[in-house]
Structure 1
Amino acid sequence: MSDEIIEMHGVRVLLFAGDGEKLAAAQDANTFLSETWARDATLAVIPVSRLGGDFLDLKTRIAGEVIQKFVNYQVRLAILGDISAWTDTSKPLRDFVYETNRGRSLWFIRDLAELDQRLAANAAG
């Protein structure tokens, strides 16, 4: 599978393929941001399979640094897939996911149906 552009509720979304370069360090965000801009998308959807092993370990600060880059460059980010293996064992991560999912810059979503619901709700105001 390759990267794919879709339109959802007026938002141009870049769905990254499940395989490819990993988002394992803050500087790796540049690769994903560059591809998002090149495809004129405003929302990048990155599968959990593309995250580096330490991404969801908040002590490494990788997630925070990556998210800050996306926010600075005004590109929304969604992490696609089941992260319950991590949230079940980390209250700080569970709290982080809860808080970010309340905002508009970063979402952790299980599937594209959940993304569709969130974008529909945002479009409705």
Structure 2
Amino acid sequence: MKIELLKEKNVDIALVSSDEKVIVDTQSALDLAMTVKYETGTNKIIMDKRNISDEFFILSSGMAGEILQKFINYHIKIAIYGDYSGYTSKPLKDFIYESNKGKDVFFVSTLDEAVDMLTR
């Protein structure tokens, strides 16, 4: 896993990248958040959706809700970028839509959009 610190509009953002899944369960998500906070001092994370377990995007698994609740409790803001067009689940589409209206969790198509969401 690689953590790169971006500075955009005077805001520090951690760009997390990896050749493998980084978030596979709640504990790995918390480990990521704390590692980012410790190594970069920021609470803003951007990552590619390919680095997140597919189970996260199956809302009935409860994984997304549990992880995102932990992130909110620890004041972690995250923007996850990637292609969401392959998902047909209406609850997931609604979840993404509602998340994007908030201020803590964003699901966007590109890295640039992710940066924009975390620097508003």
Tell me if 1:63 matches 2:75: no
What is the CA distance between 1:68 and its match in structure 2? 0.6
What RMSD, in angstroms, separates the aligned Cα atoms of the two structures? 1.7
Q: What TM-score do the two structures reach when normalised by structure 2?
A: 0.89
Structure 2 partner of 1:109: 108
Aligned positions of 1:4-83 closer than 5 A? 4-38=4-38, 39-83=40-84
Structure 2 partner of 1:97: 96
Partners of 2:21 and 2:50 within 8 A in 1: no
Q: What TM-score do the two structures reach when normalised by structure 1?
A: 0.86
What is the CA distance between 1:117 and its match in structure 2? 3.4
Tell me the distance in 2 between the aligned counterparts of 1:16 and 1:70: 15
Change over 3 Å in CA distance of 1:7–1:97 after alignment to 2: same
Change over 3 Å in CA distance of 1:78–1:117 after alignment to 2: closer
Tell me if 1:85 matches 2:79: no
Greater CA drift, 58-67 or 7-16: 7-16
- Structure 1: gaps of 5 or more residues: none
Secondary structure (helix, strand or coil) at the match of 2:24 reads coil
- Structure 2: gaps of 5 or more residues: none
Change over 3 Å in CA distance of 1:40–1:82 after alignment to 2: same
Letter in 2 for 1:115: A
Tell me the distance in 2 between the aligned counterparts of 1:81 and 1:106: 14
Indicate the percent of aligned positions where both proteins have the same amino acid: 31
Change over 3 Å in CA distance of 1:10–1:40 after alignment to 2: same
Partners of 2:22 and 2:28 within 8 A in 1: yes
Aligned residues: 119
Greater than 4 Å deviation, 4+ residue runs: none
Partners of 1:80 and 1:108 within 8 A in 2: yes
What is the CA distance between 1:3 and its match in structure 2? 2.0
Tell me the distance in 1 between the aligned counterparts of 2:45 and 2:18: 13
